[in-house]
Chains A and B, each alone.
Chain A
Amino acid sequence: MRFAAILDGTLGAAAQQARALDGFLREGVSGDLAGETLVFYHDERDKKQLVELAPTRAVRLIKTTARRPQRMVEILVRVARDQKSPLFLFAGGPAGTELATRLACRTNGAVLTEALSLEVGPQRLLCRKNVYSNHMVGRLELSARPWCVSIDASWSDGRSPISLEHDVLSDSDETNGTGTTPFEDIELVDLPATGDLAEGRFLVVAGYGAGNRDRVERIAAAARRMGAAFGVTRPVAMNAWAPMDRLIGVSGARSAPELCIVVGVSGAPALYWGIEKAAFIVAIDPDEHAPIVSNADAAVIDDGLAVIEELAEIIAAARGRD
């Protein structure tokens, strides 16, 4: 069965998209599949690097205007009609969700977002994805084709850069006919760096159980002392006890540290999704029945702030950070 993987090179996150698509195609799909990558780009200078990122040998380049998802969908509708690919794969994230959904709508196909895995049959596509706010995995069956699927963001975890020979099958310029846009005065601002959350090897996470802003700030100070990155759960960010860019979990960063210490965290699956790849998880919580205790490798049942401040002293000394 044929597929088309979509790499949106008009955005700055192309390498991450490519890693996720590559990982998913290698390990997330069962069934006999062959396909190509459609690479959207808007700057000639990006072309060579984008081709190198493609997760398939066969690549088609499409030049378009940045941030015109509706135009990209029009092009994909034509591709769906001409090439009759039954499966379109998009990287996770808002852009992939938009393209997958709009393409399915306009082709009378079916959309599924944030896929964990796919099983390809002749007439049906069986998918698994997180549902009930990550409390369960749902099995879903897609019938109408084309199947427009975006993949779960976890597929970009710890993937190495792709190393493939590539054949560029075509390079088309679709910048004409872009039409008008309702978006004006577009300004892209770099967000505060959050790479420490996604890539750090030692992470401390404070949850709502920390109690108040002052205590969250003291946990953050303990994390700094230990040389750990500091993240928070959604309720902490929502209460403005810490900046939103420190958010860990489904709506924030996903981390895969060697060591993760969580303080005052109940263990809600939306948070756990963000730390589940941690090699070792320590929970510090006064409630020994909190779900996080059984989902951690080790737990301390006590006041989180008191323990983390003591621990900071010990770890700072061990790491020579006094």
Chain B
Amino acid sequence: MSSLRILVSFKVTPDFEALREADWLAGAAAGATHGVETRYVRRVLNCFDESALELALRLSEARAERGVATDLGALSVGGRHTEPYLKTLLALGYERAARVEPEAALDFAPAVTAALIAGYVRQVAHSDLVLLGCRSGPGDSGTVPFLLAEALAWPCLTQVIEVEPLPDDRVRVACLADDGLLRVTLRLPCVLAVGNAVVSQLRVPTLTDRLARRDKRIAVLSGADMGVDIAGKLSREPCVLTGLEAIDRSRAGVIVGGATPREKARALFDSHLKGAIEKL
């Protein structure tokens, strides 16, 4: 078996759960141009991308046990805030780490993001397999994996939950399809969009790992390096965000009193649940 070139593309997003209700309301009032103020919120790895990053490490290890090499690379279309994550990935054994400076907000421009990833695959990574999360905020379109597959003229499987190597550079993939759990053997190249994988957390590198690989550099690239005119492509984007609406999910929120859990459970049942339970 030859060395398999795997690229994982990931996104670092604001932690939306850390925003206050007032921030969402202010975002709606500010309109689509300014969107929601998220600069002060901590950043997190998009959860599906995190699974993809760990699945790729495990795939690489499984291949190593068979005595075959894997070339692992990581890419993020994002600003400097992605660099601590790229450093971590280098410490974990990713051979190459790169980011493409987005030059503009690409949150609602999946076609631009996909074009940049495709440019990197074609011009730099020459990957056999690309893994990425099946969706990410704020746009939540879920289209980037398919746009990437179209740009590369590759097949794509989505909602992937497991990937295992086969002896001949093919991979066996499990994914959650609309009608059940699908297991498929796949000839490469292919895009795999990772969904609700049980493998959900990226391992943490040791200090020794970090020190051993501290000299590895992160490549910082531009749209032009990828052959993509970001501003021009953005101006031709056929789907444009024009407004934001806050969502009112409020209900009565009546707080049931009582001194102990037992008293509260009884009060809840008597005042709110009895009728509903009888009808079940």
Please list the residues of chain A having a beta carbon within 8 angstroms of any beta carbon in chain B.
11-13, 67, 70, 93-95, 97-98, 101-102, 104-106, 109-114, 126, 128-144, 182-191, 201-202, 227, 234, 237-238, 240, 244, 247, 251-252, 258-259, 266, 268-269, 272, 276, 279-282, 288, 291, 293-303, 306-311, 313-315, 318-319
Q: Is the CB of A310 within 8 A of B254?
A: no
Complex CA distance for A308 and B269, rounded to whole angstroms = 11
How many chain B residues sit at the interface, stated as a range, is 35 or more
Q: Which residues of A contact B246 (CB under 8 A)?
A: 136
Chain A nearest Cβ from B257, distance in angstroms: 9
Complex CA distance for A143 and B236, rounded to whole angstroms = 10
Q: Is the CB of B17 within 8 A of A238?
A: no
The majority secondary structure among interface residues of chain B is: mixed
Complex CA distance for A300 and B273, rounded to whole angstroms = 13
Q: Which residues of B contact A130 (CB under 8 A)?
A: 140
Complex CA distance for A136 and B138, rounded to whole angstroms = 9
Chain B nearest Cβ from A36, distance in angstroms: 22
Q: Is the CB of B261 within 8 A of A98?
A: no
Q: Is the CB of A280 within 8 A of B276?
A: yes
Q: Which residues of B contact A238 (CB under 8 A)?
A: 47, 200-201
Task: Map CB proximity to A onto B146-180 as digits: 1 under 8 Å, 0 otherwise.
Answer: 11011100011111010000000010100011111
Q: Does B198 contact A (CB under 8 A)?
A: yes
Question: Which residues in window 92-137 of B have CB below 8 A to A?
Answer: 108, 134, 137
Q: Is the CB of B150 within 8 A of A102?
A: yes
Partner-binding segment picked from B19-27, B58-66, B214-222 = B19-27
Q: Which residues of A contact B141 (CB under 8 A)?
A: 111-114
Q: Which residues of A contact B238 (CB under 8 A)?
A: 104, 109-110, 142-144
Q: Does B183 contact A (CB under 8 A)?
A: yes
Which 3 A-B residue pairs are closest in the complex by CB-CB distance?
A12-B179, A110-B238, A310-B265
Q: Is the CB of A298 within 8 A of B272?
A: yes
Q: Is the CB of B245 within 8 A of A281?
A: no
Chain A nearest Cβ from B226, distance in angstroms: 18
Q: Does B240 contact A (CB under 8 A)?
A: yes
Chain A nearest Cβ from B204, distance in angstroms: 16
The majority secondary structure among interface residues of chain A is: mixed
Q: Does B5 contact A (CB under 8 A)?
A: no
Chain A nearest Cβ from B157, distance in angstroms: 8
Q: Is the CB of A12 within 8 A of B146?
A: no
Question: Which residues in window 15-72 of B have CB below 8 A to A?
Answer: 16-17, 19, 21, 24, 27-28, 32, 36, 47
**Known A113-B141, A183-B186; further 4 A-B contacts with Cβ < 8 A:** A132-B140, A133-B138, A139-B243, A140-B108
Complex CA distance for A135 and B170, rounded to whole angstroms = 40
Sample of 18 A–B contacts (CB below 8 Å): A94-B177, A98-B146, A111-B141, A114-B142, A130-B140, A131-B139, A135-B36, A136-B24, A140-B108, A144-B238, A258-B276, A259-B276, A272-B249, A298-B253, A298-B268, A298-B271, A300-B265, A307-B268
Smallest CB-CB separation from A234: which chain B residue?
Answer: B47
Q: Which residues of A contact B178 (CB under 8 A)?
A: 11-13, 93-95
Chain B nearest Cβ from A115, distance in angstroms: 11
Complex CA distance for A2 and B256, rounded to whole angstroms = 53
Q: Does B247 contact A (CB under 8 A)?
A: yes
Q: Is the CB of B247 within 8 A of A95?
A: no
Q: Does B280 contact A (CB under 8 A)?
A: yes
Smallest CB-CB separation from A66: which chain B residue?
Answer: B179
Complex CA distance for A268 and B266, rounded to whole angstroms = 28
Complex CA distance for A220 and B83, rounded to whole angstroms = 41
Smallest CB-CB separation from A112: which chain B residue?
Answer: B239
Given known A-B contacts A105-B147, A132-B36, A298-B254, A189 and B186 have beta carbons under 8 A apart: no
